[in-house]
Chains A and B, each alone.
Chain A
Amino acid sequence: MKNDEKKYEDVIKALKGLQEVKAPENFEADLQRRINSEKFSKKEKKSFWQNIFVPAKLIPSLGLVAVAVVMFFVVDTNSEEMDNPFLIEPRVREDVFAVTEFEEVEKKQDELAKQKSIKKEEPAVEMKTNEGQLRSSELKSSEDESIAGRDKSKLDNILTDENDADQNQGFTAGAYSAVESTLTEVTESPQPTVPSETSSGLVTGQSITKEELNFRQVQLSEKEQKVVNELKNQVQSMERVDKSQK
């Protein structure tokens, strides 16, 4: 260490020989003035809440709050216009929906038509052998079909299938009488009546009888009824003749 000081002896001497720089004469006065000014500024300093509740700041902020409240009640944020169109689920198109259902209905209708055609063939054969059995089977089959077919469209389809089958095969006297008899038996009245829609199973979706089906029913006049009765008698007489021949 002493070697180092010897080495730089000249430098150390030069530095130690420098004149001492003194503070300015008014140093202490300036210092006191600055300290007092800081004290004064500290006393003047307002608190946080005092700064906030100054009218110059309070009025604009209150105005802003009022505008925000008004905007909140005026603007309906739940309106559809405000919804993001990318987040809204598309509306269901009824026509497209109906088409898809119709396809299913068509399939079911085809299946039912096939079943119906099979069942129709069986009673036609039996009709020739036994009139009583035919009537009962017709009645049962019609009731079963009416119970099974809870859909109006299906039932209408069944009816149309029946009519088609009748048109193709020809309306035999036995079949006609059977239909007539079932009508009279089920309704338990001589005249066919129009069923009420409200009391029917169509509305409730329960088991549906043939009377409740929504096909066209014609009110026969007395003359027409007489003609029908005559035809019935003729058919019955013909059947008896056939039986006696067999």
Chain B
Amino acid sequence: MDIKLRELSDEELILEFQKNNTEDAFNILVQRYKNPLTNFVFRFLGDYASCADVVQETMIKVYRYKDSYSSVAKFSTWVYTIAGNLARTEYRRQRRRNIFSIDDYGEEHKTYDLPDESSRPDVITDSGIKDEIIQKALGKVKETYREVVILRDIQGLSYIEISEILGVNEGTVKSRINRGRAQLQELLKGIYKE
């Protein structure tokens, strides 16, 4: 039974879960999507602890609202939409929290970037540190651009899939991706020189 389920596609598994309430089908979907979603949410939020919570919350929503899934759409599109919405909500919540915690001590209402000498381009020697720099740069890219860049260049989704996930036109997705890449290129100038 388990072997047969593993051979099914995502859409077939969710239908099986919908019709027969097969928990194994749901578990296989969790195994398939837990890492991609964790990667996506982590790159968007930059915080692993909250990322794990968001992905778990996404899976719980899939479990609870399985009947709201329509077989017309791809399962990946549906689950990324849920994860993206939850990630955005969490990101805004974190940003509010940071604004209130840091700005209260500032004379002017602006956030402060703490200097990190280890992230300087001339100090970079390790790929892990390089990842960290890119992640910080991603965090500085505007929210709407960051999401599409992650979905396209990290997750490897097509433009159509991204447009379905975000509910916007394909052209809008492309322009957002270009703007996001441009911002990122500007932020990562030093790395490329090396």
Please report the total number of A residues contacting B with Cβ < 8 Å: 25
Contact mask for chain B residues 55-97; partner A; CB cutoff 8 A; 1 contact, 0 none: 1100110011000000000000000000000000000000000
Q: Which residues of B contact A17 (CB under 8 A)?
A: 127
Cα distance A22–B191 in the bound complex, in angstroms = 25
A28 touches B184 (CB 8 A): no
Contact, CB under 8 Å: B60 / A31: yes
- A21 interface contact, C-beta 8 A: yes
In the assembly, what is the distance between CA of A31 and CA of B153, in Å? Answer: 29
> How many residues on the B side are at the interface (Cβ–Cβ under 8 A)?
38
- Is B188 part of the contact surface with A, judged by Cβ < 8 Å? yes
Quick check: A19 and B131 within 8 Å, CB to CB?
A: yes
Please indicate the chain B residues that have their CB under 8 angstroms from the CB of A194 in the complex: none
Residues of A close to B59: CB separation below 8 A? 31
Name the one of A11, A16, A22, A38 contacting B185, with C-beta atoms under 8 angstroms: A11
Interface pairs A-B: 3 shortest CB-CB: A8-B181, A15-B153, A23-B34
Residues of B whose CB lies within 8 Å of any CB of A are: 27, 30-31, 34-35, 37-39, 42-43, 48, 51-52, 55-56, 59-60, 63-64, 127-128, 130-131, 134-135, 149-150, 153-154, 174, 178, 181-182, 184-185, 188, 191-192
A-B contact pairs, 30 of them (CB 8 A): A8-B182, A10-B185, A10-B188, A11-B181, A12-B153, A14-B134, A15-B154, A16-B153, A16-B154, A17-B127, A19-B127, A19-B128, A19-B131, A20-B35, A20-B39, A21-B42, A22-B35, A22-B39, A23-B34, A23-B38, A23-B55, A24-B52, A27-B52, A27-B55, A28-B27, A30-B56, A31-B30, A31-B56, A34-B56, A34-B60
